Amino acid sequence: MTSEVMERNLGLARECLLAPAGLAESDLDRVFGQLMGPGVDASDLYFQQRRHESWVLEDGIIKDGSRNLDQGVGVRAMSGEQTGFAYSDEIVMPALLEASRAARAIARSGDSGRLQAWQAASGRSLYEPVNPLETFTSDEKVELLRSVDAEARRQDPRVEQVIVNLSGVHDVVLVAGSDGRLAADVRPLVRLNVSVIAADGERRESGMAGGGGRTGYAVFTERDQALGYAREAVRLALLKLDAVEAPAGTMPVVLGPGWPGVLLHEAVGHGLEGDFNRKGTSAFAGRRGERVASPLCTVVDDGTMPGRRGSLNVDDEGNPTGYNVLIERGILKGYMQDSLNARLMGEAPTGNGRRESYAHLPMPRMTNTYMLAGPHDPGEIVASVDRGLYAVNFGGGQVDITSGKFVFSASEAYLIENGRVTRPVKGATLIGNGPDVLTRVSMVGNDLALDGGIGTCGKDGQSVPVGVGQPTLKVDALTVGGTQT
Amino acid sequence: MSSERDCNRGLPSVAELKTLVERALETARQRGASAAEVAANASQGLSVKVRQGEVDTLEHMRDRGLAVSVYFGQRKGEASSADYSAGAIDETVAAACEIARYTSEDPCSGLADAGLLARDVPDLGLHHPWGVSAEAAIELARETERAALDVDSRLTNSEGAEVSAGEGVRVYGNSHGFIGGYPASQHAISCAVLGREGDAMQRDFWYTAARAPEWLESAAEVGRQAGRRTVARLGARRLSTRQVPVIFDPSTARGLIGHFVGAISGGSLYRRASFLVDHLDRQVFPAGFSISERPHLPGALGSTPFDGEGVATRDRELVVDGVLRGYVLSSYSARKLGMETTGNAGGVHNLCVAPGEKDLDELVADVGEGLLVTQLMGQGVNTVTGDYSRGASGFWIENGRIAYPVEEITIAGNLKEMLRHITAVGRDVDTRGSIRTGSLVVEGMTVAGE
């Protein structure tokens, strides 16, 4: 934890969010004076300014470009299990006072919490406070898109369509809590996506690839990273042109390293978020200390990885992010918490309080969720399967946290026949039961990898950027939703 | 600092937003844009959630947005902001103009053709503010949750009941001289409860949504539905892998029609990224199956007098007797295809699948043996090829009746085949969205399970 970094970020955030309205800490005292009425035991303000840009190349031309500016302040008052919330897209004193009146209406009687003296919180230094939008000139952005388009088209004459999307976000946040906590973060985020359509006679297929992280645009030109996405998208589309029907039924499944970690996000991640466990609505509720996975499995949620899409210096409640062990050698160790759920469960916050924007309430959310490497050689894992599926790329997934049932959709998969990877198969959804799928993990590879930085997680209508990862692993029985019976 | 009396701001009027839009259009003209279009939206609302009888959250919503597109010849730039101040409008227009210096000439870009724009803005009866107080909303939510939990003693927990009331104003204008706007409201009551049987828990939910509070289902009815649906799922089993007919209930059927809409949307078609490329005037559904668009249904959730480009919406037929007669196009995608816009910039407006004669029970009886799907999971739909594979839960049908709940299975097929094999439409139409359909029966899907 570096206090200099927090002081620097606080300085940047004050200048960007408070200074234009002439607000200072003493004005915040006045807002909290109104917010912390009878019955309110904690409250916070979340100031945010978010600049976003997007550039789209299609049909070989720069077709669209857009810029968006959104700023505002969210005001939250908590009383026991109750939360009052209001927000304003104007950061000015009258709007702050109006929002505090609305938020504090949740409680009418009882002791009021006291506002503590302001103190800078501690935070991490996982990325530079750059504005990605300014790291390239417009000409350089356009040139980047064109080079990616050319690289994709150069791969194969069957490439019919190429769409390249470049986006950047500069997000400045400042959190002030009634416990005196004052925290700020300056969060860059970039992403580049390539989507291609390839055609062979009547048959058409799409392929997608991309990546990004909390940095400037230069990440895409260093080591020709973005050209690699172009080649990957084309490879996937061409591969799918040759794919046969996917099998239907329950069989051994070998999942490749990296992005297939979406398995962990859906199967166990959501079910271990504190709110669902406090309310007893998760299939994992009350199971801490129990075996929920094979002893080969250790799963962590780690918001502290430098530059990663899911990483944060502080979470959206001003708590430092953490390296949180969720499952250790198969035993359920802990939940991911925001401050409300941590307080109500008598636990410490874990730095997982996140929100989509100032206009949304924070909730326990994942950051970068992955499984640690195991002892097995990936080749040996595939060789151990007689007949099954080898799935290495996925689209999204979804989980019903109450029944524990989850799905994730393979976009690149192959049959395994007699220990060898053979034909590519069409996309298929895989379905399983979160609380027992990891108990069926019989081999874990030594090849841990994280995804490339394109994941977005949705919960209660709120989207936040996340990361996933895992080594190659074998699930002895998982249901594959193909058509071939 | 301004006086604190100024802060009790309500929703802006249509006239106020028109002034902003006109100011932005004028700014664009002054900055040299050859054409421009501006959309302004403002909304406000209240949402309360009650869980186990106690208030969980009380939220006040208030959102604004201004989206500007400018054209310099055939080059386009876009920018948006939530700030309505004169300085911010100027900055937003400037940002859009700056972007347009770097985008390419695109022969298909530009405003909708002037002749297609709405000439008048009929009152479609979309604005019915609720004005419910937080206290009254909390009491309704309590009543909803109580009715749910009272359904059965196995209902042991709750995610809560939510009541929301909202209204907004939308104005769109462009440099052809079109400017139009209207207020609209939307309210909802929803509830999700949990049941337990042995070690297994199930959750299900129900909701009602409408433009006027008096058109909502009653709180007690929403609660009872949520409770009944959760209880019905207790004791769910898996199925073995097999080929079966599948009934999609109205809410999952809406998703299926949504995939069809995705495949006949301009963006998918001009990219040739759809399994329905070049299918106009071809048989896509079975004979007797029809889909129409009715954008002017009074008070309906999908109603609108003009689309996202100011183009007048009108009644039309998309599918007649199973034959595809119309696409879903904006001006841009229409030009790419050498066609005329269908007034669907921003989506479809009350797409209505012609209902059949039978209710769900009768469809179940007709199917005899098969699967009734009530929930789908995941994104396993490939619009390019039509390949379809999704997680499902619902009920196994035996001897023409619901036999038991099922879960942890997938259903798979190809959308092109699935649409052609819709053998029946129910009369149980769900009106809670822009796509209105009853249950759909699809022959010959693959279920994967144990």
The pLDDT averaged over each successive group of 10 residues in chain A (485 residues) is 85 96 92 90 96 97 97 95 94 93 84 81 94 97 98 98 98 96 97 97 95 98 96 97 96 97 96 97 96 98 98 97 98 97 96 98 98 98 98 94 96 97 95 96 98 96 98 98 93
CA angle A213, A340, B139 (to 5 degrees): 120
Q: Is the CB of B389 less than 8 angstroms away from the CB of A88?
A: no
Write the single-letter amino acid at B384: V
Distance (Å, rounded) from C-alpha B217 to C-alpha B8?
A: 32
The residues in B 131-190 lying below 8 A from A, measured between CB atoms, are 134, 157, 159
Q: A-B interface: how many C-beta pairs under 8 angstroms? A: 264
Tokens encoding B312: 């007048």
Give B80's contacts in chain A (Cβ within 8 Å).
66-69
Please indicate if any CB of chain A lies within 8 Å of the CB of B442: no
Distance (Å, rounded) from C-alpha A254 to C-alpha A416?
A: 9
Q: Is the CB of B446 less than 8 angstroms away from the CB of A105?
A: no
Length of chain A: 485
Distance (Å, rounded) from C-alpha A88 to C-alpha A24?
A: 18
> Which among A63, A160, A483 has CB closest to B103?
A63
Distance (Å, rounded) from C-alpha B389 to C-alpha A425?
A: 13
Helices (H) and strands (E) in chain A, counts: 10, 24
Q: Is the CB of A283 less than 8 angstroms away from the CB of B201?
A: yes
**Helix extents (H) in B345-399:** 360-367
> Which among B56, B80, B387 has CB closest to A68?
B80
Residue A183 near residue A204 (C-beta atoms within 8 A)? no
pLDDT for residue A2: 63
Give A248's contacts in chain B (Cβ within 8 Å).
241, 410, 412, 446-448
- Cα A145 to the chain's mean position, in Å? 25
Give the CA distances from residue B245 to residues A177, A187, B288, B396, B424, in Å, rounded to whole numbers and listed in that order.
56, 50, 19, 11, 11
* Nearest CA distance, B377 vs chain A (angstrom): 6
Coil/strand/helix, residue A234: helix
Tokens encoding A346: 């008598």
The residues in B 217-256 lying below 8 A from A, measured between CB atoms, are 233, 236, 241-243
User: If you search the block for the tokens 């299939």, which residue do you land on?
Assistant: A283
Tokens encoding A303: 């918001």
Among the listed residues A460, A122, A146, the one whose alpha carbon sits nearest the alpha carbon of residue A276? A460
> Which among A161, A197, A429 has CB closest to B391?
A429
pLDDT for residue B205: 98
* Nearest CA distance, A283 vs chain B (angstrom): 7
Coil/strand/helix, residue B111: coil
* Helix, strand, coil share (%) of chain A residues, nearest 5: 25, 40, 35
Q: Which residue is closest to B450 within chain A, CA to CA?
A: A250
**Helix extents (H) in B184-249:** 219-233
Q: Which residue is closest to B159 within chain A, CA to CA?
A: A281
Write the single-letter amino acid at B335: R
What global pTM score does this model have?
A: 0.96
Q: Is the CB of A428 less than 8 angstroms away from the CB of B380?
A: yes
Coil/strand/helix, residue A471: coil
Q: Where are the beta strands (DSSP E) in A322-439?
A: 323-328, 331-332, 353-354, 363-364, 368-371, 387-399, 405-417, 420-425, 428-433
Please indicate if any CB of chain B lies within 8 Å of the CB of A281: yes
Q: Which residue is closest to B101 within chain A, CA to CA?
A: A138
pLDDT for residue A110: 75
Give B241's contacts in chain A (Cβ within 8 Å).
248-250, 485
Give A93's contacts in chain B (Cβ within 8 Å).
1, 4
> Which among A206, A250, A405 has CB closest to B391?
A405
Give B103's contacts in chain A (Cβ within 8 Å).
61-65
* Nearest CA distance, B244 vs chain A (angstrom): 12
> Which among B59, B95, B377 has CB closest to A67?
B95
Write the single-letter amino acid at A305: M
B19: exposed, middle or buried (Cβ count in 10 Å: 0-12, 13-18, 19+): middle
Coil/strand/helix, residue B320: strand
Among the listed residues A224, A265, A253, A295, the one whose alpha carbon sits nearest the alpha carbon of residue A429? A253
Q: Is the CB of B380 less than 8 angstroms away from the CB of A481?
A: yes
Residue A67 near residue B79 (C-beta atoms within 8 A)? yes
User: If you search the block for the tokens 């995941």, which residue do you land on?
Assistant: B378
pLDDT for residue B8: 40
Distance (Å, rounded) from C-alpha B330 to C-alpha B322?
A: 24
Tokens encoding B147: 């009715």
Phi and psi, residue B2, nearest 5°:
-75, 165
> Which among A62, A139, A199 has CB closest to B103?
A62
Give B202's contacts in chain A (Cβ within 8 Å).
402-403
> Which among A84, A163, A281 has CB closest to B194?
A281
Tokens encoding A474: 């074998």
Q: Which residue is closest to B377 within chain A, CA to CA?
A: A398
Q: Is the CB of B408 less than 8 angstroms away from the CB of A479?
A: yes
Residue A312 near residue A455 (C-beta atoms within 8 A)? no
pLDDT for residue B9: 56
Tokens encoding A335: 């939940």
> Which among B1, B201, B409 has CB closest to A22?
B1
Q: Could you give the ipTM of this predicted complex?
A: 0.95
Length of chain B: 450
Give B411's contacts in chain A (Cβ within 8 Å).
481
Q: Is the CB of B387 less than 8 angstroms away from the CB of A429?
A: no
Q: Where are the beta strands (DSSP E) in B4-110?
A: 35-51, 54-72, 75-81
Give the CA distances from residue A397 to residues A267, A457, B390, in Å, rounded to whole numbers and listed in that order.
9, 9, 10
Q: To the nearest 10°, report the CA torsion of A218, A222, A224, A228.
A: -80
* Nearest CA distance, B115 vs chain A (angstrom): 25
Q: Convert the pLDDT of each residue in B341-350 to its tens digit.
A: 999 999 999 9
Please indicate if any CB of chain B lies within 8 Å of the CB of A331: no
Q: Residue A42 belongs to what H/E stretch?
A: strand A42-58
Distance (Å, rounded) from C-alpha A153 to C-alpha A150?
A: 5
Give B96's contacts in chain A (Cβ within 8 Å).
66-67
pLDDT for residue B7: 35
Please indicate if any CB of chain A lies within 8 Å of the CB of B63: yes
What is the per-residue burial (b if ≥16 Cβ within 10 Å, else e) of B150-177?
ebbeebebbbbbbbbbbbbbbbbbbbbe
- Cα B122 to the chain's mean position, in Å? 22
Distance (Å, rounded) from C-alpha A197 to C-alpha A163?
A: 9
User: If you search the block for the tokens 């048959």, which residue do you land on?
Assistant: A203
pLDDT less than 50: residues of chain B: 1-8
Please indicate if any CB of chain A lies within 8 Å of the CB of B287: no
Among the listed residues A77, A110, A434, A106, the one whose alpha carbon sits nearest the alpha carbon of residue A269? A434
Q: Is the CB of B410 less than 8 angstroms away from the CB of A92?
A: no
* Nearest CA distance, B34 vs chain A (angstrom): 17
CA angle A180, A184, A186 (to 5 degrees): 175
The residues in A 186-225 lying below 8 A from B, measured between CB atoms, are 197, 199, 203-206
Q: Please list, in sequence order, all residues whose beta carbon lies within 8 angstroms of the beta carbon of residue B136, skipping any fewer than 6 positions away.
A: none
Give A88's contacts in chain B (Cβ within 8 Å).
62
Please indicate if any CB of chain B lies within 8 Å of the CB of A360: no
Q: To the nearest 10°, report the CA torsion of A397, A402, A405, A411.
A: 0
* Nearest CA distance, B450 vs chain A (angstrom): 6
Residue A55 near residue A142 (C-beta atoms within 8 A)? yes
A217: exposed, middle or buried (Cβ count in 10 Å: 0-12, 13-18, 19+): buried
Please indicate if any CB of chain B lies within 8 Å of the CB of A75: no
> Which among A246, A280, A395 has CB closest to B379?
A395
Among the listed residues A291, A271, A292, the one whose alpha carbon sits nearest the alpha carbon of residue A282? A271
Residue B255 near residue B375 (C-beta atoms within 8 A)? no
Q: Is the CB of B58 less than 8 angstroms away from the CB of A82?
A: yes
